[in-house]
């Protein structure tokens, strides 16, 4: 079986996405049969080509309000509407300023900001998720950064992880299956990428999105 070709889009500057995705890339290369291409935006206006999507098996999105438009935004939209696999991290819910509908149309979320600057979020399994392949090898853990307001989720989503910050509770990871498979987690603070359970979660989400079992190489 050929390696899974992952295209990672980096452009979430508040969260040092380039450095974080390098950590994730190295973890994936060591633990799964994948190839990774990192597409790096240096600014919101950076006219980066998204041509690598044409040959991708899955796109992993970690960008925030990029001003991508025209041909390149259309290329990303076409990738999604064709039903090809999508994985989103943290600010992917508002990945492209000129296509904020990506959140609802592809990920099944409804991002409405966050609850402030809480230091940690307690992450636990959602009810009824025992045995889900994305949670294989993942244990409850504490994540960093503020808790995102993501509800209500679309009816065709499957919440996997719930986050608690003080009195606030929100889903922090879920799947959405429409034309294709999408996995999203609102986690993704810089410190999360040093948490093994978070890395396993994302790896499993990638494998699930392309229909592969969540087993390491």
What are the pLDDT digits (tens) for 54-113? 999 999 999 999 999 999 999 999 999 999 999 999 999 999 999 999 999 999 999 998
156 Cβ neighbours under 8 A, 6+ residues apart: 108, 176, 177, 178
Output the CA–CA distances (angstroms, integers) from residue 167 to 64, 65, 113, 118, 215, in the order listed.
27, 29, 16, 11, 36
Confidence check: pLDDT of 213 > 70: yes
pTM of the model: 0.96
- Structural domains of the chain, with CATH: 4-110+176-209 (3.40.50.880)
Record the tokens describing residue 53, joined without a space. 């999507």
């Amino acid at each position: 079986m050929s390696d899974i070709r992952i295209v990672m889009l980096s452009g979430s500057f508040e969260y040092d996405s380039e450095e974080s995705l390098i950590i994730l890339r190295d973890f994936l290369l060591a633990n799964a049969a994948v190839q990774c291409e990192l597409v790096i935006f240096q600014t919101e206006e950076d006219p980066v080509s998204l041509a690598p999507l044409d040959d991708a098996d899955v796109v992993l999105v970690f960008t925030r309000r990029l001003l991508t438009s025209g041909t390149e935004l259309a290329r990303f939209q076409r990738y999604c509407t064709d039903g090809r696999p999508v994985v989103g991290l943290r600010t992917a819910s508002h990945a492209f300023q000129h296509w904020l509908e990506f959140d609802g149309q592809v990920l099944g979320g409804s991002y409405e900001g966050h609850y402030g600057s809480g230091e940690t979020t307690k992450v636990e399994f959602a009810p009824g998720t025992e045995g889900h392949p994305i949670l294989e090898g993942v244990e409850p853990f504490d994540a960093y950064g503020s808790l995102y307001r993501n509800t209500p989720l679309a009816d065709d989503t499957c919440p996997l992880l719930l986050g608690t910050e003080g009195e606030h509770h929100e889903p922090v990871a879920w799947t959405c299956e429409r034309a294709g498979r999408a996995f999203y987690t609102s986690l993704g603070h810089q410190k999360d990428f040093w948490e093994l359970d978070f890395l396993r979660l994302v790896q499993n989400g990638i494998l699930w999105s392309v229909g592969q079992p969540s087993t390491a190489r």
